[in-house]
Amino acid sequence: MKIRLSILSLLFAVSGTLLTHSVDAAETTAAPRDTSQLHIASGSALLLDLQTNKVIYSSNPDVVVPIASVTKLMTAMVVLDAKLPMNEYISVNISDTPEMKGVFSRVKLNSELSRREMLLIALMSSENRAAASLAHHYPGGYAAFIAAMNAKAKSLGMTHTRYVEPTGLSIHNVSTARDLSKLLVAARKYPLLSELSTTKEKTVAFRKPNYTLGFRNTDHLVNKEKWDIKITKTGFTNQAGHCLVLVTSMSNRPVALVILDAFGKYTHFADAGRIRNWMETGKSGSVPDVALRYKAEKNLKNRQAGATQASH
């Protein structure tokens, strides 16, 4: 009898150990690391596992904020949805976009460039005149383009997103980190978005008049070998702060990352690195005091609490 009880006890012990391990494994899939070890400077962020569609990490993900030139990812998507000829030359026209008034650009008004290369410089180098021109040359005109942007957002379940123009210069182009993760999921279905947004640099030739301009990617992570960037877009205005969205791999899994309202020219890139380090090692490293002060002053945490209450 004692032997039988001992064997049963042993079986229970082993099965209990196996059960504990399986629970741990399940937790690891949802949250592979201790979030208290992740320190970021951005006001809002979200990391999504693209294999499971589960959120790995989020910080103030439902606060509605201006999104600056991250807007251009939706601009490009709407252009591609219209299935317009990519080799058609279109003129540089910003007359429909009052936000463009007084904004410097090297691109000459009324000169012409192919729609594909307009898309390229809008995505890769965040060229505002290219984004405005793409909207101007849309079937039904500019107003129809803006309507299509908002209709697309609605169809993707981006319930807290609103667009009023195609560049991101307006503070009224707003979204949330959670909504933008949905945009990134949709963007993966457009191979051209991946190709154009991750191009490192390109010289393009305009006509009428003839001239060439060189453009570089605003996301310098595309130049780093350790980053496998599939889709990316940056953004900046004073009101939006520095923003970054991308599809990449972290810890051998495909992820979508959204970083909004970061302080300083490099904080959004540094936060991407901190999040990646946390995924791979369990620790993120420290955040500069000046960036933390900016985050505290913006105080998105209180607005997140309000957003959470409003959703219930």
Is 69 among the catalytic positions?
Answer: yes
Catalytic residue among 44, 58, 59, 69: 69
Region of 208 on the Ramachandran plot (φ > 0 left; ψ -120 to 50 alpha; else beta): left
Show the DSSP H helices in the chain as ranges: 2-30, 71-81, 115-124, 128-136, 142-155, 177-187, 191-197, 267-281, 289-298, 300-311
Q: Are 149 and 163 in contact (CB under 8 A)?
A: yes
Q: How far apart are CA 62 and CA 175, in angstroms?
A: 9
Sign of CA dihedral 83, 84, 86, 87: positive
Q: In what order do the strands lie in the sheet with 44-49?
A: 54-59, 44-49, 253-262, 241-250, 231-237
Catalytic residue among 44, 59, 72, 197: 72
CA angle 258, 274, 230 (to 5 degrees): 45
Q: How far apart are the first and last CA of the chain?
A: 57
Is 286 among the catalytic positions?
Answer: no
Tokens 């494994």 sit at which residue?
A: 25
| Interstrand relation of 65-66 and 174-175 (parallel, antiparallel or unpaired) | antiparallel
Provide the residue type at 109 as one letter. L
Q: How far apart are CA 234 and CA 24, in angstroms?
A: 36
Is 230 among the catalytic positions?
Answer: no
Catalytic residue among 126, 175, 181, 284: 126
Q: How far apart are CA 115 and CA 192, in angstroms?
A: 12
* Catalytic site positions: 69, 72, 126
